[in-house]
């Protein structure tokens, strides 16, 4: 957007100004046909605003225009002031302008659209919903209003604001169409509010009337929430609806059946599919989960002997299955044969891991350093994995040097900053952990993971408990159903001596997502509370799931010792 027709020169600018000011002087027409007269102060500000815009002084132009709008009775001046203020990226001026526009013309839907967007941008869910309500009341059957709302929320709204607005919409209005329901449900899921995401997608009616995309998304939501039977039911409906026999759906259905323990039914689903690389890999994977070594080895043999239009995919799946079967020479050979495509980088990363496992650390590092010359995403993955490989070899200082090198190559890259912060914590350099996490928060004030990491670090490694509590509370506001943040809240409550609250928060964290470190925390709270049988039960369950759960073993050694 240009403020005025700058490319045509100042002569045309002045002609446009004369015409605009003449209209103001003679008065525009109100809805009843009477003139709305402008005073000289308004005219002077409009002229000065347009000239400032022509000369590139956008903030000055916006300021003058808003002042003119507040003097004027003409909604067109307020509309122009809003346009210029938004162009100048001044939130305060934009809000003043749109508020004046709504004072002068409270039925202007364009003004309400902008008011809603500005409210979302400033984090005011209540005002945003009020503005959106007006749009829906006046255009109840206009799907564009829904799409516009979804676009505004997806355009960088604060997570807590997006959730509040979506929740309000779901409670007040029948959601318009499948596309909008999906978009709003995706947004809710992205912010870890799976209950709201499911409620939004269910607002479309019963499953038999749902579009296949909505039904498939609902199945994924059920899986994420741990409701495998509901997911299986949805996949079954999808397969009944899909006359073209979508292989991906049947693979997903088979996976859910396996997780439900319905092994025979899952294998029956796979038998209905052609022997493509993904199907053979799934057969082998599920056979391993069922401790059926023979079937898994046959699946690998079929993979190695087969042909596909995508040989890189087949080689990658062969490498994955061979690695699971501990046939590491075959795995390495298959990974080496992945030449391109989406599997190339993952294959190279696995080659590095296997080289390290084989005792060839130099080869592992050489592979990873080669990948660090690629695009940013691949380079970051390679830097992080190189540091992890060095950490496994007890070379923590060298791992730190990798992150330092990566950040010289990619300054202020968020993932590398975050990983380096955790590395400093391993090295007991808590001041530097705090420094990196605060740098992330400065760049991304709503980064719930970084805020939580800082809060947890202060709770676990310092006595700055009140500051830690405030940070964790802030993270929880941004992402209320994030299991890691809920765990942090349990841990800070423990540090503050509120054992009852600590237990409640930690049990909630385990319900959201099982994690052995959370189990270690819960066991410690129970142990300190005097419930030692309960603590042992929590720890034993964690170790039955993962016998190498270090957090649990460390906690047991520290608290129980030789008892």
Q: Under a CB-based contact definition with an 8 Å cutoff, are residues 88 and 61 in contact?
A: yes
Q: What's the rounded Cα separation, in Å, for the pair 473 and 488? A: 9
The number of helix segments (H) and strand segments (E) in the chain equals: 32, 2
- Residue ranges of the chain with per-residue pLDDT less than 50: 1-37, 243-244
User: Is residue 234 situated within a structural domain?
Assistant: no
Within 10 angstroms of residue 245's Cβ, the number of other Cβ atoms is 10
Within 10 angstroms of residue 142's Cβ, the number of other Cβ atoms is 14
Domain assignment of residue 89, given as a range? 1-106
Of 42, 74, 106, at which residue does a domain stop? 106
Q: Under DSSP, is residue 113 helix (H, G, I), strand (E, B) or coil? A: helix
pTM of this prediction? 0.63
User: Is residue 255 situated within a structural domain?
Assistant: no
Of 66, 87, 106, at which residue does a domain stop? 106
Which of 226, 237, 283, 281 has its CA nearest to residue 259? Answer: 226
Q: Under a CB-based contact definition with an 8 Å cutoff, are residues 515 and 483 in contact?
A: yes
Of 83, 106, 129, at which residue does a domain stop? 106
The phi, psi pair for 364, rounded to 5°, reads -60, -45
User: Is residue 558 situated within a structural domain?
Assistant: yes
Q: Under DSSP, is residue 260 helix (H, G, I), strand (E, B) or coil? A: coil
User: Within 123-227, where are the H helices?
Assistant: 125-138, 143-154, 159-172, 178-190, 194-202, 212-224
Q: What's the rounded Cα separation, in Å, for the pair 71 and 42? A: 6
pLDDT attached to residue 177: 61
Convert 163-195 to b/e letters by CB count within 10 Å (16 or more is b).
bbbbbbbbeebebbebebbbbbbbbbbebbbbe
Q: What's the rounded Cα separation, in Å, for the pair 443 and 418? A: 12
- String of DSSP letters for 42-86: HHHHHHHHHHHHHTT-HHHHHHHHHHHHHH---HHHHHHHHHHHH
DSSP-assigned beta bridge partners for residue 36:
28
The phi, psi pair for 281, rounded to 5°, reads -60, -45
Q: What's the rounded Cα separation, in Å, for the pair 386 and 388? A: 5
* Residue 313 CA: distances (Å) to CA of 44, 175, 309: 69, 40, 9
**How many alpha carbons lie under 13 Å from residue 60 in its C-beta half-sphere?**
11
Q: What's the rounded Cα separation, in Å, for the pair 2 and 411? A: 34
Instruction: Write out pLDDT tens, residues 217-244.
Output: 888 888 888 788 989 988 888 888 764 4
DSSP-assigned beta bridge partners for residue 35:
29
* Residue 198 CA: distances (Å) to CA of 170, 181, 213, 219: 11, 10, 14, 10
pLDDT attached to residue 57: 84
User: Is residue 34 situated within a structural domain?
Assistant: yes
The set of long-range contacts for 340-349, using a CB threshold of 8 Å and a minimum separation of 24, is: 340/312, 341/310, 341/312, 341/313, 343/312, 343/313, 343/315, 343/316, 344/312, 345/371, 345/374, 345/378, 345/381, 346/316, 347/315, 347/316, 347/319, 349/381, 349/382, 349/385
Q: Under DSSP, is residue 395 helix (H, G, I), strand (E, B) or coil? A: coil
User: Is residue 553 situated within a structural domain?
Assistant: yes
User: Is residue 557 situated within a structural domain?
Assistant: yes
Q: To 10 degrees, the CA torsion angle through 515, 520, 521, 522?
A: 90
Q: How many domains does the chain have?
A: 2
User: Is residue 456 situated within a structural domain?
Assistant: no
pLDDT attached to residue 392: 94
Convert 432-449 to b/e letters by CB count within 10 Å (16 or more is b).
bbbebbebbbeeeebbbb
The phi, psi pair for 511, rounded to 5°, reads -65, -40
For residue 123 the two structure tokens come to 């984090």
Q: Under a CB-based contact definition with an 8 Å cutoff, are residues 184 and 194 in contact?
A: no
Within 10 angstroms of residue 94's Cβ, the number of other Cβ atoms is 26
DSSP-assigned beta bridge partners for residue 29:
35
User: Is residue 384 situated within a structural domain?
Assistant: no
């Amino acid at each position: 957007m240009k403020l005025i027709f700058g490319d045509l020169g100042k002569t045309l600018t002045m002609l446009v100004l004369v015409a605009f000011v003449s209209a103001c002087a003679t008065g525009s027409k109100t809805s009843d046909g009477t003139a709305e007269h402008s005073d000289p102060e308004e005219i002077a500000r409009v002229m000065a605003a347009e000239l400032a815009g022509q000369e590139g002084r956008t903030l000055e132009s916006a300021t003058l225009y808003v002042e003119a709008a507040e003097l004027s009775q003409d909604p067109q001046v307020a509309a122009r002031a809003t346009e210029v203020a938004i162009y100048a990226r001044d939130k305060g001026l934009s809000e003043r302008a749109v508020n004046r526009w709504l004072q002068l013309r409270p039925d202007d839907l364009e003004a309400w659209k902008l008011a809603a967007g500005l409210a979302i941008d400033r984090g005011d869910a209540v005002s945003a919903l009020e503005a959106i309500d007006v749009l829906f009341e006046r255009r109840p059957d206009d799907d564009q209003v829904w799409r516009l709302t979804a676009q505004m929320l997806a355009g960088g709204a604060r997570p807590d604001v997006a959730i509040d607005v979506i929740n309000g919409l779901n409670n007040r209005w029948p959601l318009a169409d499948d596309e909008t329901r999906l978009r709003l449900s995706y947004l809710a899921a992205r912010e870890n509010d799976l209950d709201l995401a499911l409620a939004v997608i269910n607002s479309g009616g019963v499953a038999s009337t749902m579009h296949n995309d909505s039904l498939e998304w609902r199945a994924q939501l059920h899986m994420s929430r741990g409701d495998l039977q509901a997911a299986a039911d949805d996949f079954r409906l999808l397969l009944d609806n899909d006359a073209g026999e979508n292989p991906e759906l049947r693979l997903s259905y088979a996976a859910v059946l396996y997780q439900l323990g319905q092994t025979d039914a899952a294998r029956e689903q796979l038998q209905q599919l052609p022997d493509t690389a993904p199907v053979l890999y799934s057969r082998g994977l599920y056979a391993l989960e069922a401790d059926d070594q023979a079937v898994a080895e046959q699946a690998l043999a079929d993979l190695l002997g087969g042909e596909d239009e995508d040989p890189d995919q087949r080689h990658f799946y062969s490498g994955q299955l061979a690695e699971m079967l501990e046939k590491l020479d075959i795995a390495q050979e298959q990974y080496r044969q992945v030449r391109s495509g989406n599997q190339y980088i993952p294959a190279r990363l696995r080659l590095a891991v296997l080289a390290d496992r084989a005792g060839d650390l130099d080869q592992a590092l050489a592979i990873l350093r080669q990948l660090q010359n690629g695009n940013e995403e691949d380079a970051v993955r390679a830097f992080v994995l190189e540091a992890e490989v060095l950490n496994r070899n007890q070379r923590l200082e060298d791992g730190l040097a990798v992150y330092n090198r990566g950040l010289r190559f990619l300054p202020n890259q968020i993932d590398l900053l975050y990983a380096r912060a955790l590395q400093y914590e391993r090295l007991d350099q808590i001041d530097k952990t705090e420094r990196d996490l605060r740098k992330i928060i400065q760049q991304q004030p709503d980064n719930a993971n970084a805020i939580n990491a800082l809060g947890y670090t202060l709770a676990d490694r310092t006595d700055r408990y009140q500051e830690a509590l405030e940070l964790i509370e802030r993270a929880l506001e941004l992402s209320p159903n994030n299991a890691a943040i809920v765990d942090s809240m349990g841990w800070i409550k423990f540090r503050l001596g509120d054992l009852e609250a600590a237990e409640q928060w930690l049990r909630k964290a385990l319900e959201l997502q099982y994690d052995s470190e959370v189990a270690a925390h819960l066991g410690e709270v129970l142990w300190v509370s005097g419930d030692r049988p309960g603590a042992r039960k929590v720890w034993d369950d964690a170790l039955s799931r993962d016998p190498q759960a270090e957090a649990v073993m460390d906690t047991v050694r520290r608290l129980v010792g030789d008892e």
